[in-house]
Amino acid sequence: MNFDFSVLFQYRDLLLQGLFVSFELTFIAIIGGMIIGAFLALMRMSSIWIVSALAGGYVNFLRSLPLILVIFWFYVLTPKIVGHPIDAYASVLIAFILFEAAYYCEIIRAGISSVKRGQVQAGLAMGFSYLRVMRYVVLPQALRNMVPVLLTQAIIMFQDTSIVYVVGVRDFLTTADVVANSTNRPIEFYSLAAVTYLVICFIASHLVSRLQRRYAL
C-alpha cells in the first residue's frame, strides 16, 4: 500500500468550497433555528392553552423524527407542494431550520425556566414592569445559562450537516467522497475528512468549555 497525500493538495479549492458550504449550512440553520425556536419557546410558555399546545406538538413531533427522514421528506415533498422542482440545497436548508427550531425551542425554554421565580418577584417588587423584568433580570441570566448548550448544539449541527450527502448537496463530506472516487484515493480523502471534522469540533468544544469555566455562575 502506498499513500499519496499530495492529491489532497491538488483538490484543495474544491474541498475548501465544500467546507464553506458546510459552514454556511450550519450558520444559516443555527440562525434560522434560533429565531423560530425563540418564538416557539414563547408560545410554549404562553398561558393560552391552544398556543402552548400547538408549539408543544410541533416540538415533540419533530424531535421524535430522525433528521435524515425530515431531509428526505422535504426533498420529496416540497417540489410537490410548490408545484415545481426546487434546489436540493434550499430543501435541506428548510429541513435543517425547521428541525433545529424544535431543539432550540427546548434549549431556550429551559434557559428561561432556569432563572428562579424569586428573581421575577424581586424585579416586580422593585417596580419593574413584567417586560422589563424579562429584559433586565431574566433574559441576561437565561442567556448566560444557555450559552454552553447553544454552542454544543452548534457543534452537533456542524456534524449533522454531513447528512446532506443523501441528497447530493456538495458539502465538505460529499465533495471529499466525490473526489475520493474519481481519483481512486479513498483512504487519503476519508482521512482528511476525519481529521478536518475532528480538528474543527475539538477546537469548538475546547472553546465551549473555556467559556463555561469563565462564566460559571
Partner 1 sequence: MIEVRQVSKWYGNFGVLDDCSLTISKGEVVVICGPSGSGKSTLIKCMNGLEAFQKGEIFFDGISVGAKGTDLPKLRSRIGMVFQNFELFPHMSVLKNIALPQIKILNRRRAEAEARAEKLLLRMGLKAQAEKFPAQLSGGQQQRVAIARALAMDPVAMLFDEPTSALDPEMINEVLDVMVSLAQEGMTMAVVTHEMGFARRVANRVVFMDQGKIVEDAAKEEFFGTPRSDRAQQFLSKILQH
- Would you tell me which residues interact with partner 1 (CB under 8 A)? 116, 118-119, 121-129, 132, 136-137, 140-141, 144, 217
Rounded to a whole number of angstroms, the minimum distance from the CB of residue 159 to partner 1 is: 32
Rounded to a whole number of angstroms, the minimum distance from the CB of residue 75 to partner 1 is: 44
Amino acid at residue number 181? N
Give the HSE-up count for residue 183: Cα atoms under 13 Å, Cβ half-sphere: 21
Rounded to a whole number of angstroms, the minimum distance from the CB of residue 181 to partner 1 is: 53
Q: Between 39 and 128, name the residue whose CB sits nearer to partner 1.
A: 128
Q: Between 108 and 180, name the residue whose CB sits nearer to partner 1.
A: 108
Rounded to a whole number of angstroms, the minimum distance from the CB of residue 195 to partner 1 is: 40
Q: Between 114 and 205, name the residue whose CB sits nearer to partner 1.
A: 114
DSSP 79: H
Q: Between 83 and 118, name the residue whose CB sits nearer to partner 1.
A: 118
Any idea which residue has 432563572 for its cell?
Answer: 115
**Distance between CA 38 and CA 53 in Å, rounded?**
16
Q: What is the 3-state secondary structure (H, E, C) of 42-63?
A: HHHCCCCHHHHHHHHHHHHHHH
